[in-house]
Amino acid sequence: MKKISILACCLWALPGLLQAQTEHLDNWPHWRGPLANGSAPRGDPPVQWDEKINVKWKAALPGDGSATPIVWGNQAFIVTAIDTGRVADPAALPKDDPRFEKKTKSPGTYHQFVVLSYDRSTGKELWRRVATEQVPHEGHHPTHSYAAGSPTTDGRFLYVSFGSRGIYCYDLAGTLRWHRDFGLMKTRLGWGEAVTPVIHDDTLIVNWDQEADSFLIALDARTGATRWKKDRDDPTSWNTPLIVTHEGRTQVVVNGTKRARGYDLATGELIWQCGGQTVNAIPSPVAFDGLAICMSGYKGSTCIAVPLGATGDLTDSSKLAWRHDRGTPYVPSPLLAGERLYFTQANNGIITCLDAKTGKVLIDRERLPTLGDLYGSPVAAAGRVYLTDREGTTLVLRQGNKLEVLATNRLDDGFDASPVVVGRQLFLRGHHFLYCIEGR
C-alpha cells in the first residue's frame, strides 16, 4: 500500500515537474541560458538583420551597464547604473585600503542602481526599481561598468546583485522581498565588480572573490538567510559559479586564479580542487557528460576537464579527463553546443572548437572574418553559433567541425553583454539600446 501511495504521489507531481522543465527551456533565466552553457535548445532566431531588417523593437537604455539581460515569460530584465551627477561630501567617502594597489578612484557622485523590466513583445518599459542610491567606493576599468553582474530567476523571483551595493530579491512584478549587504568589495587594481548570483531550487549561490577575505555563500532563496559560508583564498575572479548534479550529488563549481574547485551545494564541503588557472579567471565553467570544464586565458592559456566524481587535489593528476593549453578566452565564457565546445582566444576574434568529451581539436584558432574584440560570450541555437563584438557586429556560424560563416550583421551600437535567445527572438544589450531581433 505504501509503494502504491508513493507511486501515486510521483505520478501526480510529474505534470508539474515537466511543466517547470518546459518553462525553463523556453526562457533565458541565467546569463548563460537555460542550460548554463550558452545554448538555447528551443531557440531559432533570425540569421540576418540590420537597423532596418528584422529589428522587432529597439529600446533606449538609461545609464550604463554591461550585464547580460535575462528573459522570463513576457519580461526582459536589465540592470543599469545611472550617474545622478550629485556630488558627495568627500569626507563621507570610504578611505582606500593601503594594502591594495588601485588604478581607479571613486567617481565622487551618487549613482542609482536600477532594475528594469521590458515588455518582450513591444519593448515598453513595464517597471523600474531603484535598488539603492550610493557613491561607488571604487572606480572601474574603462571598458567595465557599475552594473556588470547579470540577474537570475527561478520563474517566481528575480535575484539581482550590485556587488558592494547589495543583493536584492524581487518578485516578477517588481516588489522587493529581501535585501542583503556583504560590505565593500576590494577588486584587483580597483577595476570593478561583476557578481552574478546563481539559483538552484531554494538555494542562491553568490561568489565573492576579491583581493582579501574572499568567500562563497549559500543563501535561502526565499528569505536571504545564510545557509553556509566558505572562505576562499582566491583573489578577484569575476566568474559565475556553475551548479551541476552528478550521481545524486549537486556541486557548485567555481573557477579561480589559484584553483578551480567543486563544493557540495548542501553543505559547502570542498569536494575537489585543481590548480593551474591563469590570473583573472573570468570564464564561467560548463558541464558535459560528467565533466566540469574550466578555462582561463589572461597572460597564459589553460583548460581542464574534471570528472565530477573525482575528489581531492587534482593538480598534476592523471584523474583529469583532458587538458588544453592554447587559444582560451580572457573575458568571454565558452559555449557548449551539443558535443562541441567553442571558445575565442583572449578577447580576440579567433575561434577554437573541441570535442567536449575528449578534448580533440576540431577547429584550431581560426580567425573570424570582420569580427573585432569580444567581451560577450557566444551562444548557440538551431544549429548555429552567434558571436557579437564590441563594435556592433554579430557573426553567425554554422555549427560543425569547420568554420562556415552564414551571415555578418551590423547594428549602430556596441555590445559587451552576451546575446540572449528565446524562441524566435534574439536580444542584444548594447551600450545605448536593447534590441529585440525577430524574423518577419
Would you list the domain boundaries of the chain? 45-65+334-440, 67-233, 243-333
Contacts of 62 (CB under 8 A, 6+ apart): 80, 82, 114, 116
Which amino acid is located at 328 in the chain? Answer: T
Give percent above pLDDT 90 in the chain. 90
Q: Please state which CATH number belongs to domain 243-333.
A: 2.40.10.480
Beta-strand pair 350-355/361-367: antiparallel
pLDDT at 11 > cutoff 90: no
What top-level class would CATH report for the domain 45-65+334-440?
mainly beta
Q: What is the per-residue pLDDT across 100-155, written as a single tens digit (0 to 9) for each?
A: 999 999 999 999 999 999 999 999 999 999 999 999 999 999 999 999 999 999 99
Question: What residues form DSSP beta bridges with 305?
Answer: 293, 322
pLDDT at 16 > cutoff 70: no
Beta-strand pair 322-324/55-60: unpaired
Q: What is the per-residue pLDDT across 32-54, written as a single tens digit (0 to 9) for each?
A: 999 999 999 999 999 999 999 99
Helix (H, G, I), strand (E, B) or coil at 91: helix
Q: Given the C-alpha cell 583548460, which residue does it identify?
A: 303
Distance CA 423, CA 70 (A): 13
Contacts of 36 (CB under 8 A, 6+ apart): 30, 198, 242, 243, 284, 286, 287
Q: What is the per-residue pLDDT across 141-175, written as a single tens digit (0 to 9) for each?
A: 999 999 999 999 999 999 999 999 999 999 999 99
Averaged confidence pLDDT in the chain: 94
pLDDT at 18 > cutoff 50: yes
Nearest Cα to Cα of residue 436 among 77, 65, 55, 39: 55
What top-level class would CATH report for the domain 67-233?
mainly beta
